[in-house]
């Protein structure tokens, strides 16, 4: 058991070591594939440690003083290992490991230094995410929270030569920072009120009803804002689809399985605190459900396969948040874990397809199932899991979420989520039917990817199926009323059927359906992303650019003006003063004599 105490630290330290090694030893980094091997070895060892911890069901809290202060440290750092963290550890290390292996093949055409850079960022990300998961307090969590944000920025902008990628990276950074601003203010306010950042202390106080802070509602709302940004909740969800400019494995790891779920993880972690403020909790639930529905409608009209998956991720994050808001945080976290598996699977599958076809547009694919049956099969498994078809993992977690929301008597959010379930099945099968089963419109070079890519795919697919079977065999606790399971299966199947009718069978013309009255409005809105991007654009232009112009004017005329006047005066003053410097030695002696006299007078008058 003694070993286990150090194991979490080791799990955390390994990726960091790899990062340091790659960051400092430039030749290693520039070697590309060698750097990849270093990163993969580190994360593989981490995965082993995480599995060991998880298997033991290890619980442990270790903190060290960080900011010393009067009467005990102001803040601590440490490791908090509990079942929640354990499960997250396994998910993070597993997906990181698989993604890093996958990237070796996916990014094989990259120049070696760029590949080394990629693995440096990957190691840093793994370290940061693990640190976030293991945080025993808000402050440490915030530090790692920002670190993963940084990694996200770096990896979205991996192809920084592309203007779109650079812009997307900046956009992701700014918009998540908007939420983080609330997060840090909330943390500091909470600290001011309670004097601690630590979860354990805060939860103990919450349990003892010692947290009767009048501003707790505001504080928790501000902290929730951090999750809104990070987990792409409405209205800050706009960065996630754009983040698809990064390499697909990055999308799978950061923007599907791990980083974006940090918000859900934080809300789950701080559940005892959120439970004290029902209003905020309800808001979380409503926003989550609304986000889920909104993103699902946008996914239905998107043609870019990665963007469909991105909207789907936003939608599923809404699911998790809705569950957390309904007080069923375990259900949300459960969905987080299963979603992490099959969404990573879907992204990696999509990556394989994009790699093969060379395009993101699903209407330029088609008949791919024949060309790459293995990829098609695993993609189908992921799609079924996402659609919530039993007995795959997604079904159980989705049902748990729906049951939790229903149990909390949040009827409208429940309806929105149910509608989302239907739309999810529809848009996912729209992709599957169009890309894999439609008429073969692709150029024809489509082929199965290398084993380094296929291996992770198969592993994730197997895990999705096995987890589902295990849950099915376990009987699956009843999450809510008896009609729930049939309803959710029915909705999923209806979605599949509609997609089949529209995109496979051709019984319904998508264009005519979209033109029908109530849907036509929705279609137009969804295609314009509900004007949110335009709104942000306008705000950006209106506010930031106007502000920049104002600042520029101030800088040019006020700041520079003051400087110019000051420098002119200095010049003129110096010109006047230089006449004192006659260059004749005796004049300087006069100066010395006057100095002595001044000192004498000064001593006489003021030194008594």
Partner 1 sequence: MTGETVAFWVVAAALLASSLAVVLTPNLFHAVLYLAAALVATGLVFLLLDAPFLFGVQLLLYAGGVVTIVVFAIMLTERLVGERITQASRHVFNGGVVAAAVFVAVAGFLLQGPATPPRPPLAGDTTVAIGRALVGPFAVTLELLGLLLVAALLGALYLARTEE
Partner 2 sequence: MSLGAYLTLAALVFAIGLFGVLTRRNAVGILLGIELMLNAVNINLVAFARFHGDVAGLVFTLFTIAITVAEVAVGLAIVIVIFRVRRTVDADRLDLLRG
Binding stretches for partner 2 (CB under 8 A): 577-586, 589-590, 593
H-run or E-run covering 561: helix 560-577
Q: Residue 579 touches which of partner 2, partner 1, none (CB < 5 to 8 A by kind)?
A: partner 2
The nearest distance, CB 598 to partner 2, in angstroms, is 15
The answer to whether the beta carbons of residues 436 and 377 sit under 8 Å apart is no
Residue that has been written with the tokens 């009609």 in this structure: 483
Q: Residue 210 touches which of partner 1, partner 2, none (CB < 5 to 8 A by kind)?
A: none
Q: Residue 600 touches which of partner 1, partner 2, none (CB < 5 to 8 A by kind)?
A: partner 1
Cα 360 to its chain centre, rounded Å, is: 22
H-run or E-run covering 179: helix 163-194
Considering only 313-321, 364-372, 515-523, 600-608, which stretch makes contact with partner 1 by CB under 8 A? 600-608
Does residue 594 belong to the site contacting partner 1 (CB under 8 A)? yes
Q: Which is nearer to partner 2, 111 or 591 (CB)?
A: 591
CA–CA gap between residue 81 and residue 86 (Å, rounded): 6
CB-neighbour burial class of residue 546 (10 A; exposed 0-12, middle 13-18, buried 19+): exposed
The nearest distance, CB 606 to partner 1, in angstroms, is 15
Q: Which is nearer to partner 1, 161 or 581 (CB)?
A: 581
Considering only 215-223, 411-419, 555-563, 599-607, which stretch makes contact with partner 1 by CB under 8 A? 599-607
The nearest distance, CB 113 to partner 1, in angstroms, is 59
CA–CA gap between residue 425 and residue 1 (Å, rounded): 46
Q: Residue 597 touches which of partner 1, partner 2, none (CB < 5 to 8 A by kind)?
A: partner 1
Per-residue burial over 219-247, b if 16 or more Cβ lie within 10 Å, else e, is bbbbbbbbbbbbbbbbbbbbbbbbbbbbb
The answer to whether the beta carbons of residues 121 and 247 sit under 8 Å apart is no
Q: Which of 604, 605, 606, 608 binds partner 1 (CB under 8 A)?
A: 604
CA–CA gap between residue 143 and residue 150 (Å, rounded): 11
CA–CA gap between residue 197 and residue 59 (Å, rounded): 20
Does residue 590 belong to the site contacting partner 1 (CB under 8 A)? yes
In the DSSP assignment, the letter for residue 261 is G
Q: Residue 451 touches which of partner 1, partner 2, none (CB < 5 to 8 A by kind)?
A: none
- CA distance to 241, 298, 518, per residue, from 522 (Å): 19, 9, 7
CA–CA gap between residue 608 and residue 604 (Å, rounded): 7
Q: Which is nearer to partner 2, 590 or 598 (CB)?
A: 590
Q: Residue 594 touches which of partner 1, partner 2, none (CB < 5 to 8 A by kind)?
A: partner 1
CB-neighbour burial class of residue 461 (10 A; exposed 0-12, middle 13-18, buried 19+): buried
Does residue 588 belong to the site contacting partner 1 (CB under 8 A)? no
Q: Residue 161 touches which of partner 2, partner 1, none (CB < 5 to 8 A by kind)?
A: none
The nearest distance, CB 591 to partner 1, in angstroms, is 10
Q: Which of 469, 546, 554, 593 binds partner 1 (CB under 8 A)?
A: 593
Site string for partner 1, 548-587 (x = CB under 8 A): --------------------------------------x-
* φ, ψ at 62 (rounded to 5°): -130, 125
The nearest distance, CB 578 to partner 1, in angstroms, is 21
């Amino acid at each position: 058991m003694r070993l286990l105490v150090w194991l979490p630290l080791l799990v955390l330290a390994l990726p960091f070591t790899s990062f340091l090694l790659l960051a400092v030893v430039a030749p290693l980094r520039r070697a590309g594939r060698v750097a990849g091997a270093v990163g993969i070895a580190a994360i593989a060892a981490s995965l082993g440690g995480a599995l060991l911890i998880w298997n033991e069901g290890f619980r442990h809290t270790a903190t060290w003083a960080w900011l010393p202060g009067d009467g005990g440290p102001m803040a601590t750092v440490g490791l908090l290992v509990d079942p929640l963290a354990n499960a997250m550890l396994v998910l993070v290390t597993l997906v990181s490991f698989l993604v890093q292996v996958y990237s070796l093949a996916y990014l094989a055409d990259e120049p070696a230094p760029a590949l080394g850079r990629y693995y440096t960022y990957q190691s840093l990300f793994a370290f940061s995410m693990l640190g976030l998961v293991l945080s025993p307090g808000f402050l440490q969590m915030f530090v790692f929270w920002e670190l993963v944000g940084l990694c996200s920025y770096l990896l979205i902008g991996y192809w920084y030569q592309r203007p779109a990628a650079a812009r997307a990276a900046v956009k992701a950074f700014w918009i998540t920072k908007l939420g983080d601003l609330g997060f840090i203010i909330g943390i500091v306010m909470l600290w001011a009120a309670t004097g601690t950042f630590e979860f354990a202390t805060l939860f103990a106080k919450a349990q003892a009803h010692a947290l009767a802070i009048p501003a707790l509602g505001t504080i928790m709302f501000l902290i929730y804002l951090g999750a809104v940004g990070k987990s792409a909740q409405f209205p800050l969800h706009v960065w996630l689809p754009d983040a698809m400019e990064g390499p697909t494995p990055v999308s799978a790891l950061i923007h599907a399985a791990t980083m974006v779920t940090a918000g859900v993880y934080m809300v789950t972690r701080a559940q005892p605190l959120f439970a004290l403020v029902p209003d905020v909790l309800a808001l979380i639930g409503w926003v989550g459900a609304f986000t889920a529905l909104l993103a699902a409608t946008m996914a239905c009209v998107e043609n870019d396969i990665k963007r469909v998956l991105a909207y789907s991720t936003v939608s599923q994050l809404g699911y998790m948040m809705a569950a957390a808001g309904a007080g069923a945080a375990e259900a949300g976290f459960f969905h987080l874990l299963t979603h992490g598996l099959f969404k990573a699977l879907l992204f990696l599958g999509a990556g394989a397809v994009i790699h093969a076809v060379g395009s993101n547009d699903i209407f330029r694919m088609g008949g791919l199932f024949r060309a790459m049956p293995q990829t098609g099969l695993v993609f189908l498994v992921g799609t079924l899991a996402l659609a919530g078809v039993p007995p795959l993992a997604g079904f159980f977690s989705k049902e748990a979420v729906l049951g939790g929301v229903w149990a909390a008597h949040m009827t409208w959010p429940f309806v929105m989520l149910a509608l989302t379930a239907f739309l999810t099945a529809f848009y996912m099968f729209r992709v599957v039917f169009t890309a894999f089963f439609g008429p073969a419109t692709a150029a024809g070079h489509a082929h199965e990817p290398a084993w380094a890519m296929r291996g992770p795919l198969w592993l994730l697919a197997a895990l999705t199926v096995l987890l589902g079977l295990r849950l099915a065999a376990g009987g699956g606790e009843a999450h809510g009323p008896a009609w729930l399971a049939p309803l959710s299966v029915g909705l999923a199947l209806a979605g599949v059927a509609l997609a089949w009718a529209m995109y496979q069978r051709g019984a319904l013309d998508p264009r005519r359906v979209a033109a029908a009255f109530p849907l036509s409005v929705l279609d137009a809105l969804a295609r314009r992303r509900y004007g949110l991007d335009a709104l942000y654009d306008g705000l950006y232009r209106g506010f930031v650019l106007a502000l920049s112009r104002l600042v520029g004017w101030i800088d040019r005329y006020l700041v520079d003006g003051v400087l110019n006047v000051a420098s002119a005066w200095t010049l003129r003053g110096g010109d006047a003063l230089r006449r004192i410097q006659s260059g004749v030695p005796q004049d300087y002696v006069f100066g010395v004599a006057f100095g002595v006299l001044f000192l004498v007078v000064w001593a006489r008058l003021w030194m008594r």
